[in-house]
Structure 1
Amino acid sequence: MIRRLAAVLPLALSLSACGDRTEKAADPAPAAPPPVAATTTTPEYKATPSPTLEAVKSRGYLTCGVHPGLPGFAYPDVKGVWQGFDVDICRAVAAATLGDAKKVRFTVIDNKDRFGALQSGRIDVLSRNTSWTLARDAGLGLDFAGTTYFDGQGFMAPRALNLTSADELNGARICVQTGTASETNLADYFSARGLTYTPVPAASEEEARNAYQAEKCDAFSADVSALAASRSVLNSPNAHVILPTVISKEPLGPVVRQDDPAWSDIVRWTVYALILAEELGVNSKTAEGSLETASDPRTRRLLGLEDDYGSLLSLKKDWAYQAIRQVGSYDEIFRRNIGADSGLKLERGMNALWTAPKPGLLYAPPIR
């Protein structure tokens, strides 16, 4: 019996193995994986409607709130045409939204009314040396669309005083504009250091500048950019210096209403397009030619040659191209208004690109 089982067992195992092979051979071949669909860099998202954009298109022009007169940033020239860094930001938004940088009307907004004018709908965007702070962003129903100029509060004093630091102003009379962050920053700085000063309040930058020139105060404190603008129109600009002490962070940029996030995106990405243009080497003089020669995908997307990112903003495909061609890249706008080609001759400093030999803070997210 044992011998018989021993003889049968190898045969059974052999048949079992043959059966396994037969079943496996009978199985259908596994299906090939489905082909991977071709991808596109244009996200299949839908644009969010913007009531502000519709209003701008309906009336045919953008309304922009600007400073009454700050050299380099916003001022009417001898022909009454508005010029300046902040003015050009609004012109770029007009070019992006309406295809024409000239389709913008400027409204003079004083310091006390700048937020009210925006909240009430009198203006579509406020482009007026305004600092981005938590209280303003979260407490006024407003959005800061981005930073166009990184600034800080400083001090201007007569060169004859031979000052090297704001700490040497202990006991001094200091002109400062009321109702501004500068007023609070000044008090905080002196208090934290146990120093004293006598504030000489002024209702406007012009009034503060005039008081300083009339020697009603020993120093004038404001954003460094505003001090440079004020110094440029003093009787003897070279007789005054801006001290190296900077006592605050003042990120300046355009402001919009918080109830229209799609409009915030439009203004924000217009600013980013100007920065990206500088980074990619595109400007008002080369933009048109780049339509024929650009090979870098980043440049082609910026100019609207590839994909249609403008549709995500409810804008035309060439929205960024129009802003760059008609107004310029960030470096062009900076240079002609407040940089090397202007009377202010401000250095790029923190406002240099993050890729510059001396890197700054200027950085724009990619268009993709």
Structure 2
Amino acid sequence: MKKTVILGALTVAGLTAGVAGAATLDDVKARGKLNCGVTTGLTGFAEPDASGEWGGFDVGVCRAVAAAVLGDPTAVEFVPTTGKTRFTALASGEIDMLARNTTWTFSRDTDLKFEFVGVNYYDGQGFMVPKALGVSSAKELSGATVCIQTGTTTELNLADYFRKNNMEYSPVPVETDNEAQQQYLAGACDAYTTDASGLAATRASLETPSDHVVLPEIISKEPLGPLVRHGDNDWGDIVRWTLNALIAAEEYGITSANIEELAAGTENPEVNRILGTEGNLGEMIGLDAEWAKRAISAGGNYGELFAKNIGESTPIGLSRGLNAQWTDGGLLYSPPFR
């Protein structure tokens, strides 16, 4: 999800200043594990199973970074965070990176002193309502009660949308996806609003998903991606290029099934540079030559992670849409590995 309305921004910025310049890579190596901030539980993106094992699309990014840096995709401590606590956890150094449905915005990038390393899901805010409500458009929600997570950009987007369309609404504040689901099912609100991907995940987890409708309107741009603290560019480079490696791997046909074969060398120089058989890219970021190979092997390339966790064959059923490769009409695009 998204962003706090900058109450407490100075506190977060102050915490960031306190840890700016810290050598996060050295800390992670000394600790022997990556501390990665995630949601408190969102189906398909980040949630623990019955045995406490975390899985999901965002979790896959955390595991890829751990594999690149530590050689072990399981060497991750997952730290659940809410919309309110996530930024303090990152700024204070409690977590090394945040991979939690967080929208890249101007103020987060500058005033809150964080650095977004890229976008792993292009999204937009939408609405979900009970089918029995008989509503087919968000513009029919005038006078509705709306469940909305506090500490997120959805609050501002919602206010803007209703004001622009001369509609009234009553907000029902919640702190987590689980609380939002409970309030929504209890009838405390007529509609639930959040990122469309989050609505799809919530709907898929309901007992009878067909009893609920995600309305067609998308009222905002929500580029979601991992972020780190300002002040440690070396660590930011590692997380950024790990994400890029997953995206580029899909473009160049590097998969969890063929990566060992391709790592023996190919006729494609870009593939060779990614997998470490040519050049010295790993050395440039303080890692060995096979860092990207390990990252991709951890859970597969971007497309494999998408299909396994949130794709059309999963209960969430998301199509690639804007999140398709640029060669397929989407927005996914990694800078060159050279």
Mapped partners of 2:214, 2:183: distance in 1: 17
Q: For 1:40-82, what per-residue CA distance to the aligned partner results, in whole angstroms no more than 9, with x for missing partners?
A: xxxxxxxxx9711011111111111111111001101122100
Residue 322 of structure 1 corresponds to 294
Answer whether contact 1:213 1:234 (CA < 8 A) is retained: no
Where does residue 269 of structure 1 map in the other structure?
241
Tell me the equivalent position of 2:128: 156
TM-score, with length taken from structure 2: 0.91
Instruction: Pick the structure with greater CA Rg.
Output: 1
Q: Distance in 1 between matches of 2:112 and 2:265?
A: 46
1:361 corresponds to which of 322, 331, 334: 331
Write out per-residue CA displacement over residues 283-314 of structure 1, whole angstroms, 9 at most, x where no aligned residue. 11110011235211111111111111111111
Task: State how far apart, in whole Å, the 1-side matches of 2:256 and 2:35 are.
Answer: 24
- Determine if the alignment matches structure 1 residue 141 to structure 2 residue 113: yes
Aligned residue type for 2:35: T
Counterpart Cα distance in 2 of 1:88 and 1:113: 22
Read off the aligned partner of 1:227 and give its amino acid letter. Answer: L
* Seq. identity, %: 52
SS of corresponding position for 2:68: helix
- Structure 2 residue corresponding to 1:186, chosen from 141, 147, 158: 158
**Structure 1 match to 2:254:** 282
SS of equivalent to 1:156 = strand
Distance 1:216 1:105 in 2: 35
Q: Distance in 1 between matches of 2:151 and 2:97?
A: 21
Partner Cα separation in structure 1 for residue 33 and residue 146 of structure 2? 42
* TM value normalised by structure 1: 0.84
* SS of match in other structure, 2:333: coil
The equivalent position to 1:100 in structure 2, one of 60, 72, 76, is 72
Question: Which residue of structure 1 lines up, in the alignment, with residue 15 of structure 2?
Answer: none
Conservation of the 8 A alpha-carbon contact between 2:22 and 2:231: no
Choose which of 182, 186, 195 in structure 1 pairs with 2:167: 195
The aligned counterpart of 1:27 is: none
Aligned equivalents of 1:286 and 1:245: distance in 2? 40
Counterparts of residues 97-246 of structure 1 (less than 5 Å): 97-246=69-218
Question: Counterpart of 1:112 in 2: which secondary structure?
Answer: coil
Matched residue type, 1:176:
I
Paired position in structure 1 for 2:310: 338
- Give distance in 2, aligned partners of 1:318 and 1:105: 23
Contact 1:50 1:262 (8 Å CA) reproduced: no
1:61 matched to 2:33? The reply is yes
Q: Does the aligned pair in 1 maintain the 2:83–2:149 contact within 8 Å?
A: no
Deviation at 1:342, TM superposition (A): 2.2
Deviations 1:311-342 (A, max 9, x none): 11111111111111222100001111111342
Corresponding residue SS for 1:111: coil
* Counterpart residue identity of residue 177, structure 1: Q
Q: How many Å separate the matches in 2 of 1:322 and 1:52?
A: 20
Kindly state the Cα deviation for residue 110 of structure 1 after the two structures are TM-superposed: 2.1
Q: Spell out, residue by residue over 1:142-161, the C-alpha distance to the aligned partner (whole angstroms, 9 max, x if none).
A: 11111100111000012233
Uncovered stretches (5+) of structure 1, i.e. residues with no partner: 1-48
Find the aligned partners of 2:124 and 2:33 in 1 and give their Cα distance.
Answer: 33
Instruction: Please give the alpha-carbon distance, in whole angstroms, between the structure 2 residues aligned to 1:202 and 1:78.
Output: 25
Tell whether the 8 Å contact from 2:118 to 2:226 is kept in structure 1 after alignment: yes
Please identify, of 236-245 and 271-280, the stretch whose mean Cα deviation from structure 2 is larger: 236-245
Aligned-residue RMSD, C-alpha: 1.3
Distance 1:293 1:254 in 2: 31
AA at the equivalent of 1:242: V
- Which blocks of at least 5 consecutive residues in structure 2 are unaligned? 1-20
Query: What is the count of residue pairs matched by the alignment?
Result: 318
Q: Is the 8 A contact 1:50 1:263 kept in 2?
A: no
